[in-house]
Structure 1
């Protein structure tokens, strides 16, 4: 839902800015006179000396007591929406809850953060793993495990990945009652600096 809203909002914002920039460029370069075409009567940019908001536009509503409060209220609402959008972009796409099918017609919710913590602790006990970070993303009914592993210099990636798949991910999938738990695993090797021995 958020990705769709992002695309729609970015598309509308892009089209609006493109139209505004194109109109300013059209008037600023006086292209309608040079190329011999006419622009609609409501078009604000008719030549290089035109401005976005002329004297008449700036002073038309000056006598109305409701005008400036309405403009300020609209700008505050717009600012609040833009701030909400920014916060939504910065929010992590972690799953707070996972829906577990209890096979009796009812569904139960499992805390996603608790499952992440259990998986992290289990992965960190594997030989050759220095540190692990697990994050569950996706939908509540179809989570995806994103696993980052920091391996010790003597860690064997093939064995670690095999145990991760056979043990940790399988146990997490079974405990959550999921048909499948796809995973994306990133491996990094821990670099130990040289230590001086006196």
Structure 2
């Protein structure tokens, strides 16, 4: 999930929480109006305040429609895939080629997975077409040294990816994970 979407999620949850807290506190603090089974607003009050202005219900409908549209936008933002579908590669003759993002991900994953001490590798291409970045998740073997795996990844693997895309820099974020294993016993 992108940092912007994460921030929007936190702000939305905070606002919803504050609105619910204020509504609950307001209902708890308000004295009972007409008894336990009486409506919150009497019929006379509804006629005077809510039906007098013809604009009122249009404003309520517009506000609710805006809330529905924002909720749909938020839902679609949650479901959107953050992967980059393609990278623009300068061919050197004034033209550009398009490299599929999946192809680059698979090539980097295959090369990183073949490193000594790496059990599995997952790669995701992110960013923009002209400025991509890689996110790698490496699962190391129990005997692997993380510093060696990271050095091998940063050297030849990312170097080949930069060369093949023609980019001067290809930022990468690597997350290393070592699975749990039993200690080996010497007898």
The alpha-carbon deviation at position 159 of structure 1 amounts to 2.1
Q: Secondary structure at the match of 1:116?
A: helix
Distance in structure 1 (CA, Å) of the matches to 2:104 and 2:41: 57
Q: Pick the aligned partner of 1:84 from 53, 73, 79.
A: 73
Cross-structure match for 2:4: 3
The alpha-carbon deviation at position 91 of structure 1 amounts to 2.6
Q: Pick the aligned partner of 2:51 from 43, 60, 64.
A: 60
Q: Secondary structure at the match of 1:83?
A: helix
Query: How many matched pairs?
Result: 171
Distance in structure 1 (CA, Å) of the matches to 2:93 and 2:153: 30
The range that moved more, 20-29 or 106-115, is 20-29
Q: Pick the aligned partner of 2:127 from 138, 141, 149.
A: 138
Contact conserved, 1:97 with 1:111, CA < 8 A, in 2?
yes
The alpha-carbon deviation at position 100 of structure 1 amounts to 1.5
Cα RMSD for the two superposed structures? 4.4
Q: Identify the structure with bigger relative contact order (alpha carbons < 8 Å, sequence gap 6+).
A: 2
The alpha-carbon deviation at position 165 of structure 1 amounts to 1.4
Distance in structure 2 (CA, Å) of the matches to 1:135 and 1:116: 6
The alpha-carbon deviation at position 22 of structure 1 amounts to 6.6
Structure 2: runs of 5 or more not aligned: 34-38
Show CA shifts across 1:6-62 (max 9, x none). 75xx58x94x997998799789868xxxxxxxxxxxxxxxx985x99875369739x
Show CA shifts across 1:108-158 (max 9, x none). 221112211111111111111111111122222111211111111111222
Normalised by the size of structure 1, how large is the TM-score? Answer: 0.62
Cross-structure match for 2:137: 148
